[in-house]
Structure 1
Amino acid sequence: MSQPPFLSASYVEETRFGFWFLRSHTWQHHVLRVAIDDLRQLFDSPLPAAPVLLDAGCGQGKSFKHLQRVFAPGRLIGIDADPHSLQLSGAEAARQGLKVELLGSDCAQLQLADASVDIVFCHQTFHHLVEQEQALAEFWRVLKPGGYLLFAESTEAYIDTWVIRWLFRHPMHVQKSAEGYLQMLREQGFAFTARNVSYPYLWWSRAKDFGLLERLRLRKPPAPGQREETLVNVVARKPLVQP
């Protein structure tokens, strides 16, 4: 009896283009690097020293060098439900000379102890997950009191455009607006203020035309509050004292 190719029964396999894109220069430099640097600016308290950092949905490991640069983790853990991606993550960690613990795991069933992690990094992973509520509950469970969830997501306004639906594959019935994701975090118990949230409006996240008309000066970019947000970044904290 053959082994299932993925470690989650609800895993939505990416397209060949999508798998290639996740190792491209555009992804590494214009998406991952920019998001991690933005998340760093959203902290309103000192970073944990030598944190245990979990990269939830580490993919091909392209985030590892940026997480090391910005957060200097004492222990870096990468999880993914795709065994092939984990193999590529291991090779990437070796190329970077980084020690990374890699675990094959569904985000909705993390194989980690309660209150064992200082930072959960969840970048462009959540919109791939079918069991979103369970995954968020697992992030809460493994975080220490006072620990941080670094949450960076594309919203339904971006995912549900013809070009993204054509090039990539996502579970469309679970996509949410920026406010929808923020409400999920609040309902789980995470704490954050407006200071801990940003709504980047990057060229690659512009719905429909990737900002082409704006670059050609054929259309003015919409101001915040006058557009449907396509990205949301949040630094949310698990309170030190639980209710």
Structure 2
Amino acid sequence: MGYLSNTYVEETRFGLWFLRSHTWQHHVLRVAINDLRSLFSEPLPGHPVLLDAGCGQGKSFRYLHQTFMPERLIGVDADPHSLKQSREEAVNQGMTVELIGSDCATLTVPDASIDLLFCHQTFHHLVEQEQALAEFYRVLKPGGYLLFAESTEAYIDTWVIRWLFRHPMQVQKSAAQYLEMIRHQGFQFTAQNVSYPYLWWSRAKDFGLLERLGLRQPKPFGQREETLVNVVARKPLEGAV
């Protein structure tokens, strides 16, 4: 397969199937987009230009459209086969989506042209993370928002995830490290703009089975190693300090 990135890590067959599943769409994508929407501390941009970085098979498109009502929706992915499926998904949903074959570290998108950049469960697949984040900052308009939702190293580096999926393990990070990277790039956010979802599918090792059976009490926030982090981070307005 002619991937559009020299550092692309090919997904497993199970992984590609899972990204089409009801669980992925209803319990992962939908929940993350709703949570990100709740993290805005200011009104949403009206009719934004929205870029989905790592759009995969396009299953996010309808949720993004329903939640943010973009004037333009752009999908970027480095896998030509996934882009083909994204195109089919857009047609099935009756939506107009501009699709770009590109590595996130070298986006073919003009400077300051995007209002909202959605990066959901993509960043832990990227080897060139610093370059990708710099590209996200570049293409966002001043005052634009990065909608970042990620699984952390505490989840990715478990035997079941290593067995079922493929990831570049050398770049995995904790929630705190991801937030520090985003802040260091120049994005602004407060604690109000950050969440640490503790969802059943993100429970390391047993997917929360023991807790659902009443055999173990869930660890409260602050006493567990977070497996998910969501943040809505803003690119400063021009001239802002």
Select 1:35's aligned residue among 32, 36, 41.
32
Select 1:151's aligned residue among 148, 151, 154.
148
Residue 8 of structure 1 deviates from its aligned partner by 0.1
- Say if 2:110 is the partner of 1:106: no
- Say if 2:91 is the partner of 1:94: yes
Alignment of 1:5-24 (within 5 A): 5-24=2-21
In structure 1, the residue matched to 2:123 is 126
Deviations 1:70-110 (A, max 9, x none): 00000000000000000000000000000000000000000
Q: For 1:113 and 1:124, how far apart are their aligned partners in 2? A: 24
Q: For 2:238 and 2:192, how far apart are their aligned partners in 1? A: 21
- Say if 2:198 is the partner of 1:201: yes
In structure 1, the residue matched to 2:166 is 169
Alignment of 1:179-190 (within 5 A): 179-190=176-187
- 1:143 maps to amino acid: L
Q: For 1:111 and 1:39, how far apart are their aligned partners in 2? A: 25
Deviations 1:180-220 (A, max 9, x none): 00000010000000000000000000000000000000000
Select 2:234's aligned residue among 210, 234, 237.
237
**Structure 2 counterpart SS, 1:108:** helix
Structure 1: 5+ residue stretches without partners:
none
Q: For 1:69 and 1:186, how far apart are their aligned partners in 2? A: 29
Q: Taking every aligned residue pair, what percent have the same amino acid on both sides?
A: 78
TM-score by length of 2: 0.99
**Structure 1 counterpart SS, 2:105:** coil
- Say if 2:23 is the partner of 1:26: yes
- 1:66 maps to amino acid: Y
What RMSD over aligned residues (CA atoms) do the two structures have, in Å?
0.7
Residue 11 of structure 1 deviates from its aligned partner by 0.2
Number of aligned positions between the proteins: 240
Residue 5 of structure 1 deviates from its aligned partner by 1.4
- Runs of 4 or more, structure 1, over 3 Å off, are none
Structure 2: 5+ residue stretches without partners:
none
TM-score by length of 1: 0.98
Residue 241 of structure 1 deviates from its aligned partner by 2.7
- 1:167 maps to amino acid: L
- 1:208 maps to amino acid: K
